[in-house]
Structure 1
Amino acid sequence: MKIIGILICLLLCSGCWDMKEINQLAIVNLGAADKDPETGRITAYYQVINPSALTNKQSGAAKAAVYTFKFEDFSLGRFTRQTTTIMPRSLFMPHMQALILSERYAKQGITDMINFVELSPDRRTNVIFLIAGSPIETIINSFSPLERMPGRYIRSLINLSGQGFETGYEPIRIKDLAKGMYRKKPMVIPIVSYTSSEPAKDTNRLEDIDIRKKTFLFVGGAVFRHGRMVGRLNFDEKQRYFLLNKNLTNYIETLTVNGDYVDVEASHIRVRRKFNASGLTYRIRATLRIVNNQQTTPVTRGNIRDIEDKFNRQFEAESQAFVRMAANKDWDLLGIQDRGIRDWKHVKVTFKVESDMSAIGNTTGPHTFERGN
């Protein structure tokens, strides 16, 4: 009876009916898209992994780690069918590292792209989303240094930059965008650019010791409101946005103390917001560590208090400047409207900052040397 029961259970098992051989798949590592605002025609790019180039033994012509396929159509759903006209393998999207859209596509609205990814069962909604600060053709057709696949290179940059975030990553996944579309508070998405006007289509173009001439670079953030790009933030403004919205808990601040530069790492940043009759009050606490000290005087208890006080005042001043900038551009970057407050521009925002120095380095004073005649 046990054997019969086991056999019946085996008959109910589906087995490997949906198994796919890797040599039958076109595994997409990086995707990109552009949309013409006049015609609505969409250009899609699929960067497909070349498995033979990633093995130790490479054949003569198979040197590129990825190949870029380009298609044009008016509907996102038609691209899968189009790939069968040139790709000898089935399109496979679940391993895509990032999705990059052109700036003009983002300004028209990205709701169609979000719906396309969200409603497709074979696509991951945790794929990261980026805006192109350079022409899509340049970004998608360039090799990357140190990493053979540009998609993995860009994903690694995002993972490293997200180490200071509370969750370990920036909230820039497709599913984060889908949730943020219904809020009044805009979302900020990284802008990736390429440092050269010409793409590095072959590895010979990368044979230069100064890699910054031809590489990928993050240059700030794109501001999205209800799924449409409405403007840009520079690097410092983007960082302030995530700090005040409780996403970023660790960053480096440069202070001027006694006429000299002091770089401090602010960590374990705790942000509390409270609405009251007088407006919105922020209470910020941070732990400081000196990472660079150019002062010519020893670090004393009084000097440490000067550094802490300077950090507190500078954090408050920069945050107030950020609030004024957002109001002038009609961007509720603090999400005040999400609390049901319509007249958000007239809400008084105050900052109370407290910091505590935890480490000053191995020595308390600088090394000095007086030159003789």
Structure 2
Amino acid sequence: MKKILIITILLFLCTGCYDYKELNNLAIINGIALDFDENSDEYTTTFEILNDNSEKNLSYFTIGKGKTLTESFNKASNKINRIPFFSHLKIMILSENFVDNNSYELIDFITHNKKITNMFYISIAKNNTANELITSESFNDETVSNNVYTLIDNKDLTNNISLKVDFNKFASLTINKRQDLYLPVIKLNKDRVQLDGIAIFNNKKFIEYLNEEDSKILNILFNEAKNSYFEYSCTNNKKIIINIYKQKVNFTITKKKVKINITLLADIEKNDCENIIKDNKELEKKFDIILKEKINKLITKFKEKNSDILGINYMYYKNNNKDIKFNKLIYDIKVDVKLNNNGIIIEVKK
């Protein structure tokens, strides 16, 4: 009993709750979904609340609607018969319309709300409202919010088709005039949530969803590609798969050019082409070409969509103390893949 009391006290001290509250009086908010209807100019706030009754569902929900974010938030809170507790908030899911219209309002609301910590991930809902996602079927004996948090937090276990964006990162990207916003995408697949790439923005407005392959390439450019798999098909039914386990990316910005040097260390996970490609140097060279083409294609897309999520404008300003349009610069990309095959690392010299 003494140990339980100590743990309880430490819990409140660590979460910044200095006013002691009985656990039975707290409603622990696990996740929040925010929607905005442009036609009715109405906000919808949905709380996922942990259920302390083991005989019932893992969580339950309250919904509030209003003409302002504060009003909808307060209405959702007022429907709870206990004290809302936000220190264990894991995830906030936003609809497309909400991000397009209310990002600055959300930042102002969170930063002025002392009850809400900023240690949570933010994601965007695809094809459904944020409410529909957070109230969907849970699995793995976890709440929907915990499942979404785990998917994002362990993105390297899902082939790096996502990126981690917590509230601080969201606020920084939204406020920064020289870098565009990006968010991890959540969608429903057979009534269950799953990752589905990355959403890119221009001037804080939604532009496009990157597919899984482009999202993996973006992870390379952000130096976060550990455990990313790429393949080369040598024939119609035979292929080689490599897994990146270490990388180094360097951006060099001059007045007219962006140089991107990328070194990738990778293991060969599967090789059906041993009788076709017998030289590992040849194989490394093929992956150099494959990945360089994919990176060039993705950067071309960013330039066409005018979406500077790489922050080239920001890096250029830091180096040259003036602004320039990132899509007017020349991009010089070099990729050096080093394959580790049976403990032997073979390097391709450019």
Contact 2:181–2:202 (8 Å) recurs in 1: yes
* Aligned residues of 1:107 and 1:230 also touching (Cα < 8 A): no
C-alpha separation in 1, matches of 2:114 and 2:102? 23
Aligned pairs (5 A) from 1:28-67: 28-53=29-54, 58=55, 63-67=56-60
| Pairing 1:348–2:349 present | no
Residue type at the aligned position of 2:340: S
Q: What is aligned with 1:180? A: 173
Rg: which structure is higher? 1
What is the aligned counterpart of 2:91 among 82, 88, 98? 98
Q: Indicate the residue corresponding to 1:253 in structure 2.
A: 230
Show the counterpart of 2:118: 125
Separation in 1 of the partners of 2:124 and 2:328? 32
Q: CA deviation at 1:242?
A: 2.8
Supply the AA of the counterpart residue of 2:135.
N
For structure 1, which segment, 80-89 or 131-140, has the greater mean C-alpha deviation from structure 2 after superposition?
A: 80-89
Are 2:104 and 1:111 aligned?
A: yes
Cα 1:30/1:237, change in 2 over 3 Å: same
- 1:8 counterpart residue number: none
Question: Contact 1:257 / 1:306 at 8 angstroms: preserved in 2?
Answer: no
1:133-152 matches, within 5 Å, as 133=126, 134-152=128-146
Which of 275, 282, 287 is 1:306 aligned to?
282
Q: What RMSD over aligned residues (CA atoms) do the two structures have, in Å?
A: 2.6
TM-score, scaled relative to structure 1: 0.78
Any conservation in 2 of the 1:250–1:269 contact (CA below 8 Å)? no
Query: 2: CA distance between counterparts of 1:192 and 1:342?
Result: 33
Which SS does the other structure have where 1:110 is aligned? helix
CA contact (8 A) 1:43 1:70 kept: yes
Scaled by the length of structure 2, the TM-score of the pair is 0.83
In 1, Cα distance between equivalents of 2:169 and 2:83? 29
1:337 aligned to which of 290, 313, 336:
313
Q: Which residue of 2 aligns with 1:267?
A: 245
Query: Match of 1:160?
Result: 154
2:192: which partner in 1? Answer: 215
CA distance in 2, matches of 1:325, 1:219: 18
Moved more, 345-354 or 179-188: 179-188
Residue deviations 1:118-176, cap 9 Å, x none? Answer: 2211211121001111233431222212133111111111122156999xx94400110
**Alpha-carbon distance, 1:314 to partner:** 0.7
Task: Quote the Cα distance in structure 1 between the aligned partners of 2:300 and 2:167.
Answer: 30
Partner of 2:302: 326
Cα distance, 1:306–1:150 mapped onto 2, change above 3 Å: same
Structure 1 residue aligned with 2:263: 285
Paired residue for 2:211? Answer: 234
SS of structure 1 residue aligned to 2:20: coil
Query: Is 1:224 matched with 2:224?
Result: no
Cα deviation, 1:269-297, whole Å, max 9, x if unaligned, reads: 10111123661111111112111111252
Counterpart Cα distance in 2 of 1:225 and 1:162: 26
| Cα offset, 1:78, TM superposition | 3.1
* Secondary structure of 1:333's aligned partner: coil
- What's the offset of the Cα at 1:104? 1.8
Q: In the alignment, residue 350 of structure 1 is paired with which amino acid?
A: D
Residue pair 2:133, 2:188 contacting (<8 A) in 1 also? yes
Residue type matched to 1:129 in 2? Answer: I
**Structure 2 CA distance, aligned partners of 1:229 and 1:344?**
19
